[in-house]
Chains A and B, each alone.
Chain A
Amino acid sequence: QCTGEESWVDSRTVYIGHKVPPPGTEAYIPQRFPDNRVVSSKYTFWNFIPKNLFEQFRRIANFYFLIIFLVQLIIDTPTSPMTSGLPLFFVITVTAIKQGYEDWIRHKADNAVNQCPVHVIQHGKVVRKQSQKLQVGDIVQVKEDETFPCDLILLSTSREDGTCFVTTASLDGESSHKTYYAVQDTKAFNTAEEVDTLHNGIIISKCSLSCLVSLAVAIYTGMETKMALNYQSKSQKRSAVEKSMNAYLIVYLGILISKALINTVLKYVWQANPNRDEPWYNQKTETERQRHLIRAFTDFLAFMVLFNYIIPVSMYVTVEMQKFLGSYFILWDDDMFDEELGEGPLVNTSDLNEELGQVEYVFTDKTGTLTENNMELRECCILPGAEREELFFRALCLCHTVQVKEEETVDGIKRGIHQGKSTSFYISSSPDEVALVEGMKRLGFTYLRLKDSHMEILNREDEMERFELLEVLNFDSVRRRMSVIVKSSSGEYYLFCKGADSSIFPRVVSGKVEQVRARVEHNAVEGLRTLCVAYKKLTHEEYDQTCRLLNSAKLALQDRDKKLAEAYDVIEKDFILLGATAVEDRLQDKAADTIESLHKAGMKVWVLTGDKMETAAATCYASKLFHRNTQILELTTKRTEEQSLHDVLFDLSRTVLRQLSGDYQDYGLIIDGATLSAVLKPTQDVTSNGGNYKEIFLEICRNCSAVLCCRMAPLQKAQIVKLIKASKEHPITLAIGDGANDVSMILEAHVGIGIMGKEGRQAARNSDYAITKFKHLKKMLLVHGHYYYIRIAELVQYFFYKNVCFIFPQFLYQFFCGFSQQPLYDTAYLTLYNISFTSLPILLYSLMEQHINMDILKRDPSLYRDIAKNSLLRWPTFIYWTLLGVFDAMVFFFGAFFLFDNTTFTSNGQMFGNWTFGTLVFTVLVFTVTLKLALDTHYWTWINHFVIWGSLLFYVIFSLLWGGIIWPFLNYQRMYYVFMQMLSSGPAWLSIILLIIVSLLPDVVKKVLCRALCPTTTERIQVRQHNSHDLHFHREEKIQLAYMSNIYKCVYISVIDSFLKEIILYTVTICLGR
């Protein structure tokens, strides 16, 4: 997973303990390595302001406003620089505060890491050092359970064989222990010469250690550690909403420029007559007369400045605030809180909130995501015969790579898992093995330890049995089996092998294969992970031969792996079948329900797993991914062996396409890793029928409601996600997983969700959101995602709408003021419109709106389809909003125009001026856009009431105040008493009311008609919800009752369940041949 930097890592020469290089070496150039300070923060105290400003102005919108601001400063523009400077300052400040806060937290975390103590050996003494002061070449002493401060090369350990076990949980999430070997030369404390970087010898920092003490030399420090390198490559994801937002922005920029151009041209046409250009009452100054050439350009700029508010300056900051604050609702959600872990969901990025409402494809991992990843031995199926039974248990006790860890200290997590059961516990790279060994322990055979290459077992009679471990034939995913060769105390040689049924059965020479196979298949269908166990006895000669074979393979310099595999193939045969085991990995709570809901919501769920097909398929059935009537299409190696891939693909696509013409059939596809890579491989022959398999495959997938991909490598998971992402509809994808092997797909998908599971936090850390259980995905998508989407969609549309309403009257006014760039509104109104008069209601709407109750959203997943494909931000909707804005602006302007046309407004005969005209338009504007939002609000909490009416009130109070006094330090007093005078006039009131109603009318009518004539599902539900409102409490009571009875049922079932399990575990099912 870190292929990127591998090329970067060239060899480096490090002198351990900073010894002076021996004189013999050729010219040694002292390399400068960075110290071990880890810096994840972006800013320092000193560079914060310049750097942050630079970062912020790299954003196109901010830069645009900066330019406008500068233009206002330089040329003579209709509005004061304040009007764009103040909002810009506000936006920049808010963003800077947010980023500064985040960076401060990063600083704190960095400090905690950098200052944690490390033991370093200097001149033969152990010295404590701060982690950040570590140098390349330092010898670091790491004790048990400590984490590595940087990338190290292991020199020696407290174990004689120079090994140590390393957990890489915090790096890649795998809680398994990996064995690392000390560099051969330094096993026994020799402070030695050059250590060249063997890549596989590096232990990466942040892995915790579990052998007592080890000494290691620092290789990569600070920002050069693998860890830090990994993190820098995280790319930024952008949501679909943001993309449409940018598209709209470009449209508006176009509108803005064309408006300015039109006005500039008209201005010059109008001015062609010198009596219009410069009547006697309105002479130009000398300078104004002179600059004729650049005059047109500055006029254009001035119009740009006048209309620039059409690009909503505060939209970005509002969107950012909405996302940031809105994400807290996920964090706070009680339903998504996990009591067991004591943790709730995490939000790592709030940029993608609304994307949760747009998901079309869900890619889920199986183990640990759909299932609990809590393996338990469910069944041992042993072929009859007392001797076989004994051997079976021995085999399971011996054939594994489990390590025993003695528990001296009471440790938080471990105590949680093994509460007081034993003083020691097992660790292994495979949870299945642990489950098996633990299952054996419960059946009376306790694996004690590996001591002096002797495995010690406590059998049922509490007697110690010792087997000498001679060879371990490690597990690999090609052979899908592992073996051990042991020598019993009586001197007999045994080879025990366990592995997948498909890899064991062909090698069995005796034993009732058929019965075991039947049982294994039965178990696999039930979703259990099955393993078969076999053995063979070896004579001494045979053993010697085996040894030779193995050693020659191990020592081979070329093709070692191949030779080893061949050796294994020769050794592992002629087995006698002993039986089979079944390990259960239980489905997570409500996994099936969740998947069903996602299906109903129109999402396609794909399961991507490394497991074998049968097990995975069983899980899919259990989790309702496949239904009983789903027709399964298989695209597996088994089939492609019989037919060519080409034929299979066309066969399947024909099957699937038949569905379109005829009756509806639910299809499910199963594909395995090998076939997938064949499909994705670019075909060599370019003949017509060679074609593009990818397209055919996608076509098949598109018509399948569920797809199961088994035997997947981590990278293949990402490949699949990429493939779907790039398909022609560009669907929004979501990947969910818990392990390190899911990280690649989590990073690849539009939305990555990590599950904080047993396999560590790597997935959670790389994800955009992390949840504790798979079932929480339902609420996350159906409720939170849905809400976020409708909220932000309204936010974006409304922002453009309100700015059209705001600016279009100004544009119209130019036609009546000789295209002189005279602003219609006062400076204060221009400045504050977006940042205070109309900002809070929409922000609050975008935080609080619930168009439908969340219970209904959860109960009725099909509502999710209503917002699919970015439906609220499509072009027609956008055009509707824009036209509505234009209409409203026309109403404001021409309404006021006709009222003002040549008549008196007051009862004392006095006249109003242009500022009253603007204020009238502005008042209607503020009230209309706020009330428009009020009409769109479906969920009126007291906060909504407070903010909507409050912001209107604020506008009135502000206007009263602004016009109420002669403001000192202000060189104009044009607004003095304008607002009050307007309010003292009866016709002004009447026209304000009239114009507000006229501008709201079309939208209301449109809404009502749409709802009545062609209601969407959402709208129907709303009506139903509304009608049943008085029954609401009654219903809620009912739900509560149903819920309670459900709880009792659940408790009852789980009691029975656990009871049954105990029975199964303690009385082994022995399948006797009938």
Chain B
Amino acid sequence: MMASSYSAKEEDGHHSGSAGLGGTAIRTRKPDNTAFKQQRLPAWQPILTAGTVLPAFFIIGLIFIPIGIGLFVTSNNIKEFEIDYTGTDMSSPCFNCSQSFSWNSTTPCRCVLFFSLDQPFESNVFMYYGLSNFYQNHRRYVKSRDDSQLNGDERSLKEPSKECEPYRTNENKPIAPCGAIANSMFNDTLDLFYIDPNGTQTQIPFIKKGIAWWTDKHVKFRNPSSSNPNLTAVFIDTAKPVNWRKPVYELDTDPENNGFINEDFIVWMRTAALPTFRKLYRIIQKKNNMTPTLPRGNYSLEVTYNYPVRSFEGRKRMILSTISWMGGKNPFLGIAYITVGSICFFLGVVLLFIHHKYGNRNNSSDIPN
């Protein structure tokens, strides 16, 4: 018995052994004869051979190529226009603004860019601003926010999370909204004018709602004590972010779009994955079926230049794009589908050849015993 105490299973066996010695009936440890225990569960036993994989390759090829063509065509039908207004060139109208930038200037610097659209934009047009070389995905930047503050938590409003450093407090007042992301919110104002052939400029009406995720706007972001409509009172003990020109409760006149639930703000707060990114700025809605949203012709883009990018060699762009069911212009997906589909098809042919040549040999050949 002593010796038997060195392993659980062994012990098991020995116990029954000593029980047997005691004169009980013949001991059995006979295992149950279940399919599972005998490793004989019924099973599907597929194997990957040229024969079985062939059809899959052809099917993938046959499905992917049309999808790819469809995507490619859709992507090509999407109208997209992009204009860089950084103003690094001497010739650029925004050159002066970009050079003479100062955080403290009270008079906004304005510049106007002219451009023309060769093709009319038929459906709704989405207006984006794009930044390059801007590391919104930098770790220090990504974490520099306080989600509970943005969710309307009173305590976080008074005492923002430490993650917000060094944008946490200003002059001993908590910053609302705190953190580097909020602090660096994009604050250029873009206005678009259509220039009639006769020279009159008509401002194109923008919609500024619906640019942020619905859930962000209605759940994730909330103003503190939303019962109190007077946002000025709510944010009374807080400081505005250092680089902001106006406090958070003056972002918009519309109370539904002011404070933390300002959609421009929410859009900015969703940090981009890559250093070159674009963010939705405004939507230009189609008025009626008769006229295109943006007809062919000349336009002017009026920029209120508030956002400095020169220091980190950044670029600023304005993008106009229509949208299909598959989003914006993205030729990559279509090309990728066509390529993969073709490769699969090609592989299918190769495998067919191989299967034809070697498959029979394998099946007939005997295994040397």
Which residues of A does B touch, CB under 8 Å? Answer: 38, 40, 78, 101-102, 105-106, 109-110, 112-113, 116, 147, 170-171, 205-206, 227-228, 231, 275-276, 279-286, 288, 328-329, 331-334, 337, 339, 342-344, 346-349, 410-413, 600, 761, 765, 787, 816-818, 820-822, 848, 850, 853-854, 860, 862, 895, 897-914, 916-918, 935, 938-944, 966, 971-974, 976-977, 980-981, 985-987, 990-991, 994, 997-998, 1001, 1004-1005, 1007-1009, 1011-1013, 1015, 1017, 1020-1027, 1029
Contact = CB atoms under 8 A, between A and B. Distances in A.
A1008 B347 CA distance: 11
Interface in B113-138: 124, 126, 128, 130, 134-138
Interface stretch (B84-92, B195-203, B224-232, B275-283): B275-283
Given A281-B184, A860-B367, A913-B273, A334 B280 contact: no
A994 B340 contact: yes
A303 to B, nearest CB: 11
Nearest to A1011: B49
A331 to B, nearest CB: 7
B137 A816 contact: yes
Interface string B313-330: 100000001011111111
Contact of B11 (A109, A848, A1009): A109
13 contacts: A106-B5, A106-B8, A206-B2, A281-B183, A281-B184, A901-B332, A906-B327, A909-B323, A911-B267, A972-B143, A976-B220, A1011-B50, A1012-B50
Contacts of A283: 166-167, 180
Contacts of A986: 325-327
A1023 B13 CA distance: 41
A1022 B312 CA distance: 61
B361 to A, nearest CB: 9
Nearest to B329: A903
Interface stretch (B34-42, B252-260, B289-297): B34-42
B172 interface: no
A914 B330 contact: no
Contacts of A973: 147, 151, 220
Contacts of B332: 898-899, 901
Contacts of A1023: 47, 49, 362-363
B49 A820 contact: no
Contacts of B6: 40, 106, 231, 765
Contacts of B216: 976-977
Residue picked from B40, B212, B333, B363, most chain A C-beta under 10 Å: B333
A767 to B, nearest CB: 10
Nearest to A281: B184
A127 B22 CA distance: 24
Contact of B5 (A109, A997, A1015): A109
Nearest to A114: B2
A1021 B366 CA distance: 9
A276 B2 contact: no
A997 B340 contact: yes
B50 A1008 contact: yes
Interface in B5-20: 5-11, 13-14, 20
Given A282-B184, A333-B31, A994-B336, A901 B49 contact: no
Contacts, number: 361
Interface string B30-56: 111100011111111111111001000
Given A106-B6, A170-B3, A334-B31, A910 B212 contact: yes
A991 B166 CA distance: 39
A315 B136 CA distance: 35
A808 to B, nearest CB: 17
A332 B355 CA distance: 41
B359 interface: yes
A987 B327 contact: yes
A1001 B312 CA distance: 42
A903 B140 contact: no
Contacts of B333: 899, 987, 990-991, 994
A970 to B, nearest CB: 8
B62 interface: no
Nearest to B331: A903
Contacts of A850: 39, 43, 45
**Which A-B residue pairs are the 7 nearest by beta carbons?**
A109-B5, A281-B184, A904-B328, A917-B273, A909-B126, A332-B37, A914-B273
Contacts of A1024: 363, 367
Contact of B313 (A112, A275, A347, A854): A275
B135 A818 contact: yes
A901 to B, nearest CB: 7
Nearest to A282: B141
B287 interface: no
Contacts of A787: 39
B147 A974 contact: yes
B28 A342 contact: yes
Nearest to B19: A412
A860 B10 contact: no
A1013 B126 contact: no
Contacts of A1025: 45
Given A903-B328, A997-B340, A1021-B367, A820 B161 contact: no
B4 A109 contact: yes
B232 to A, nearest CB: 26
A259 B155 CA distance: 42
B2 A904 contact: no
B168 to A, nearest CB: 9
A108 to B, nearest CB: 8
A234 to B, nearest CB: 8
Given A332-B38, A817-B135, A902 B130 contact: yes
Contacts of B270: 911-913
A907 B324 contact: yes
B48 A914 contact: no
Given A170-B3, A986-B325, A1024-B363, A1008 B8 contact: no
A1020 B363 CA distance: 8
B146 to A, nearest CB: 8
B310 to A, nearest CB: 9
B362 A1020 contact: yes
Contacts of A966: 151, 219-220
B283 A909 contact: yes
Contact of B211 (A909, A913, A971): A909
Interface string B134-163: 111111111111111001000000000101
Contact of A938 (B45, B64, B139, B367): B45
B276 A412 contact: no
Contact of B354 (A147, A411, A1009): A1009
A227 B180 contact: no
Given A109-B5, A765-B10, A897-B274, A907 B46 contact: no
Nearest to A907: B325
A1008 B48 contact: yes
A713 B30 CA distance: 36
A908 B210 contact: yes
A344 B31 contact: yes
A282 B135 contact: yes
B312 A275 contact: yes
B104 interface: no
Given A348-B10, A904-B323, A914-B142, A987 B330 contact: yes
A280 B313 contact: no
A1025 B45 CA distance: 9
B105 interface: no
Contacts of B273: 900, 912-914, 916-918
Contacts of B38: 332-334
B211 A343 contact: no
B327 A903 contact: yes
Contacts of B355: 1012
Contact of A939 (B43, B358, B368): B43
A1013 B312 CA distance: 56
B162 to A, nearest CB: 10
A342 B10 contact: no
A991 B336 CA distance: 9
